[in-house]
Structure 1
Amino acid sequence: MSTQTVSGTRAGAFRGALAAEWTKLFSVRSTWWTLLAGVLVMAASAGQLAIYAANANTNDDPADDLGVVTAGTVLIDAIELTQYAVLAVGLLAITTEFTSGTIATTLQCTPARGRVLLAKAVVTGAVTFALGLLLGGVGVLVARPVLGDWGSAPTAETIGDIVAVATYLALVGVLALGLGAALRSAVLTIIVLFATLTIVPLSLQEPDIAVLNRIADVFPGVAGVHFLDGDTDPYPAVVGLLLLAGWAGAALLLGRAMLRRRDA
Structure 2
Amino acid sequence: MNAVDATRTRPALPGAVAAEWTKLWSVRSTWWTLLAGALVMAATSAQLAIYAANGNTNDDPADDAGVVTVGSVVIGSLELTQYAVLALGLLAVTSEYATGTLRGTLTATPSRGTVLLAKAVVAGAVTFGFGLLLGLVGVAAAAPVLGRWGRAPVAGTAGDLLAVAAYLALVGVLALGVGAVLRGAVLSVVVLLALLMIVPLSLQEPGITVLDRIADAFPGVAGGHFMAGDDHPYPPVVGLLLLAGWAVAALTAGRWALRRRDA
| TM-score when normalising by structure 1 | 0.96
3-state DSSP of counterpart to 1:51: helix
CA distance in 2, matches of 1:24, 1:125: 15
TM-aligned CA deviation for residue 218 of structure 1 = 0.2
CA distance in 2, matches of 1:206, 1:48: 28
TM-aligned CA deviation for residue 64 of structure 1 = 1.3
Residue in 2 that maps onto 1:175: 174
TM-aligned CA deviation for residue 106 of structure 1 = 0.5
* 1:196-235 equivalent positions in 2, closer than 5 A: 196-235=195-234
Residue in 2 that maps onto 1:44: 43
Residue in 1 that maps onto 2:25: 26
TM-aligned CA deviation for residue 207 of structure 1 = 4.9
TM-aligned CA deviation for residue 13 of structure 1 = 1.2
Residue in 2 that maps onto 1:70: 69
Count the aligned residue pairs: 260
3-state DSSP of counterpart to 1:47: helix
3-state DSSP of counterpart to 2:262: coil
TM-aligned CA deviation for residue 160 of structure 1 = 0.3
Residue in 2 that maps onto 1:79: 78
Of 199-208 and 235-244, the range deviating more from structure 2: 199-208
Residue in 2 that maps onto 1:132: 131
CA distance in 1, matches of 2:33, 2:126: 12
TM-aligned CA deviation for residue 172 of structure 1 = 0.2
TM-aligned CA deviation for residue 62 of structure 1 = 1.2
**Structure 2, gaps ≥5 residues long:** none
CA distance in 1, matches of 2:213, 2:234: 10
CA distance in 2, matches of 1:199, 1:243: 18
Per-residue displacement from partner, 1:189-243 (whole Å, max 9, x unpaired)? 0000000100000000135411100000000000011101101110000000000
Amino acid of the residue matched to residue 112 of structure 1?
A: S
3-state DSSP of counterpart to 2:11: helix
Amino acid of the residue matched to residue 73 of structure 1?
A: S
Per-residue displacement from partner, 1:19-41 (whole Å, max 9, x unpaired)? 00000101111111001000000
Amino acid of the residue matched to residue 120 of structure 2?
A: A
Per-residue displacement from partner, 1:16-63 (whole Å, max 9, x unpaired)? 100000001011111110010000000000000000000000000112
CA distance in 2, matches of 1:210, 1:197: 20
CA distance in 2, matches of 1:68, 1:233: 22
**Structure 1, gaps ≥5 residues long:** none
TM-aligned CA deviation for residue 11 of structure 1 = 3.4
3-state DSSP of counterpart to 1:159: helix
Per-residue displacement from partner, 1:90-131 (whole Å, max 9, x unpaired)? 011100000000011111110100000000000000000000
Residue in 2 that maps onto 1:15: 14
Checking the alignment, whether the CA contact within 8 Å between 2:9 and 2:111 is kept in structure 1 is no
Residue in 2 that maps onto 1:195: 194
3-state DSSP of counterpart to 2:10: helix
Identity of aligned residues (%): 71
Per-residue displacement from partner, 1:160-180 (whole Å, max 9, x unpaired)? 000000000000000000000
CA distance in 1, matches of 2:79, 2:226: 13
CA distance in 2, matches of 1:38, 1:46: 12
CA distance in 1, matches of 2:115, 2:160: 32
CA distance in 1, matches of 2:67, 2:148: 8
CA distance in 2, matches of 1:114, 1:150: 50
Report runs of 4+ in structure 1 exceeding 6 Å deviation.
none
| TM-score when normalising by structure 2 | 0.97
